[in-house]
Amino acid sequence: MKKLLLLLVLTCSIASAEEFSSAMEEGNYGLISMGRVSKDKSSTMSTEMSTPIQEETKKVEPVEVVDSNSSLRIGGSYSYLWMTPKANPTFSGSLGGAQGIYEYRPKNCIYQGVKFSWRQGDTTQGLNTRSLLDFNVHQRIGYTFDNLFDRMRATLFTGLGYRYLGHELKQPGQNNLEFNYNELYVPVGLLVDRKVGSYLTLGLNVTWMPQVYPAVTIIPLNGADWIINKTIENFIVSAPITFNFSRCGHFTLELTPFFEYWKDGKTSAASNLGVDLDIPENTYLFCGAELNLGYLF
């Protein structure tokens, strides 16, 4: 009888243990499932939160400066002039003016341009005054070489130019004299520039201007045109500093310091009245700067 009771107790104990183990397994599976659901929700929320940030990041793009073939620049200038007639004292003074230039300058292609400048002012030497009017225009054609040395380009050009230099000489106790110089010349030039970053360009320009047909008209000596000797040593050197100051890149501001050497030849002709003209050669030294506003297109 005791053995029978002991057998029944063991049988009940084993059954209870199996039920408890099964219940525990079901509880762990539920916890694991809840953990997986929680993890999946957390991953989804993280993805949804990061998506707008990534989209906003993609929208931010750097502003690029426009790479254009054509440009138009217009501005004003200041020059200080030393003008010396040979074997005579030097006249000096300030000139103000304006200038403009159009250029078509594609990469590794034909270059074309036209430039004009106008300057006017008074120079003095003691009690004498010489008023000066300077008008200069020339056409250019050449070739541009791009990407020579790390963002550097160079342009070689030639063309045809015309220059008018008008003098009015005022001397105390004497009649005023007017000298009107009309001169044709052939410009031969080199333009070099290099980009420094996206918004700054540094350049160096050299132009040689030998004369091919110079003449002078003297008033009041009958107003005839007198041929004068040609000069070939004329040149100008400038160093433009160009700023791209707009976000779209179409507008520029250019500061260009320069030095110019020019010479008018002499003549030993005589007037119809038999007056020996003997006009001496004039040497001009210009030093100054131009400030131009440009548009690229």
Mean pLDDT taken over the chain? 82
Q: Using CA of residue 213, residue 216, residue 217, residue 221, what is the dihedral sign? A: negative
Q: What are the CA-CA distances from residue 143 to residues 203, 227, 289 (Å)?
A: 17, 34, 26
Structure tokens at 262: 């020019």
Contacts with 65 (C-beta within 8 Å, 6 or more apart), sequence order: 198, 199, 244, 249
pLDDT(100) > 80: yes
7-48 pLDDT, tens digit each: 444 554 555 545 545 544 444 444 344 444 444 544 444 444
Q: What are the CA-CA distances from residue 48 to residues 41, 156, 183, 226 (Å)?
A: 11, 59, 76, 88
The whole-number pLDDT of residue 275 equals: 57
The whole-number pLDDT of residue 222 equals: 61
Lowest-confidence range among 93-97, 106-110, 145-149, 224-228?
224-228
pLDDT(232) > 70: yes
The whole-number pLDDT of residue 53 equals: 45
Q: Which residues of 141-171 are buried (b: 16+ CB within 10 A; e: fewer)?
A: ebebeeeeeeeebbbebebebebebbbbbee
The whole-number pLDDT of residue 9 equals: 46
The whole-number pLDDT of residue 218 equals: 85
pLDDT(50) > 90: no
Q: State the average pLDDT over residues 158-169.
A: 97
Contacts with 262 (C-beta within 8 Å, 6 or more apart), sequence order: 209, 234, 283, 284, 286
Q: Using CA of residue 23, residue 24, residue 29, residue 35, what is the dihedral sign? A: positive
Q: Give percent of the chain with pLDDT exceeding 90.
A: 61
3-state secondary structure of 266: coil
Q: State the average pLDDT over residues 116-126.
A: 97
CATH topology of domain 70-296: Lipocalin (2.40.128)
pTM: 0.75
Q: State the average pLDDT over residues 100-125.
A: 97
Closest residue by Cα to residue 238 from 89, 24, 79? 79
By residue count, the chain amounts to 297
